[in-house]
Amino acid sequence: MSGAGGGAGTLITLAPTGAESAKADVPALPVTVDEVVSTARDCAALGAAVIHLHVRGTDTRPTLDLPRVREVVAAVRESTELVVQLSTGGAVGDPADARLAVLDAGADAASLSLGTVNSGRDIFANPWGLIVELHTRMQQRGIVPAYQVFDLGHLATLARLLDRYGPPAGGRVHVDLVMGVPGGMPGTTATLAACLPALPPGATFAATGVGRASLPVMLAALSAGGHLRVGMQDTLSYAPGEPVRDNAQLVARAAGLARIAQRPPLSTTAARQLLGIPADPRDPAPDPTRVPVEAAP
């Protein structure tokens, strides 16, 4: 299974906020521009190379308002060398035109969910026509997609998409397995293993486990040569009865486990190479891996 991951290091994607948790319920959740930038800096120092952004408005609620999205993208870009990946999923019920519009915010990459999922009490809908539109607009704009898979059938959708509409911008296929979402595939080693034969040839993958699936999925992904997505979007408990302190705590654990697996965190330069994103001239790092002294399991 190790061939599915690619490379000798681990790509760590930070998903710091999401669209589901309320700031009033989770005070540590970064929602302001300053909080997001501070989180991005801290987590980059610990080994994150990509930041997956859901943007919040001044009222702390999820928003796809394009000026606000551009403001957050620019602030993260100015303060870090992280690959900036925007969510095109938004919050459940966001209209398609607003989700498509975020592709004009100047990000390096964007998520592309490959189907509909019964997400707990709600339904997140991504019909085929919208999937195609997101894919082709990303091709036209040179935005690299992270293809999000919530269920095994979504990998069949990916194969159909690539066959009919060609490869993504950058030419590299990277899949995010999002596991443990209510109504989606379970966050288990067996499920992750079942996904791997269905990946497109040459594709890389990352995995994230929602909630209590976080640690099992992380360990399974590392053992299979895959990469990791971590953050408070997906995980609010560090251990049973212990709330997450901040996103840096989750990135530090992921980086520590990646080093134990002898696949240390990738630099932003190496992350761009892996994903097919043009090099950032601000990132001079010649070493494709880094082992931050601050990180700990």
The Cα–Cα gap between 17 and 141 comes to 25
Q: Which residues pair with 14 in a beta bridge?
A: 51, 230
Checking if the pLDDT of 288 tops 50, the result is no
Q: What is the pLDDT of residues 60-100, one digit of tens each?
A: 999 999 999 999 999 999 999 999 999 999 888 889 999 99
pTM for the full model? 0.92
Instruction: Find tokens 């859901």 and name the residue.
Output: 54
- Is residue 35 within 8 A of residue 26, CB to CB? The reply is no
The Cα–Cα gap between 190 and 112 comes to 24
Instruction: Find tokens 């209590």 and name the residue.
Output: 212
Domain 2-275 has CATH 3.30.450.70: no
User: What single letter denotes the amino acid at residue 211?
Assistant: G
Q: What is the pLDDT of residues 160-195, one digit of tens each?
A: 999 999 999 999 999 999 999 988 999 999 999 999
Please state the three-class secondary structure of 136-153 as a single string.
Answer: HHHHHHCCEEEEEECCCH
- Is residue 236 within 8 A of residue 22, CB to CB? The reply is no
Q: Tell me the three state secondary structure of residue 209.
A: strand
Domain boundaries, the chain: 2-275
- Hey, what long-range contacts does 163-170 have (CB within 8 A, 24 or more apart)? 164/132, 165/132, 165/135, 165/136, 165/139, 166/139, 168/135, 168/138, 168/139, 168/144, 168/276, 169/138, 169/139, 169/141, 169/142, 169/143, 169/144, 169/145, 169/276, 170/142, 170/144, 170/275, 170/276, 170/277
**How much of the chain, in percent, has pLDDT values that exceed 90?**
85
Q: What is the pLDDT of residues 184-234, one digit of tens each?
A: 999 999 999 999 999 999 999 999 999 999 999 999 999 999 999 999 999
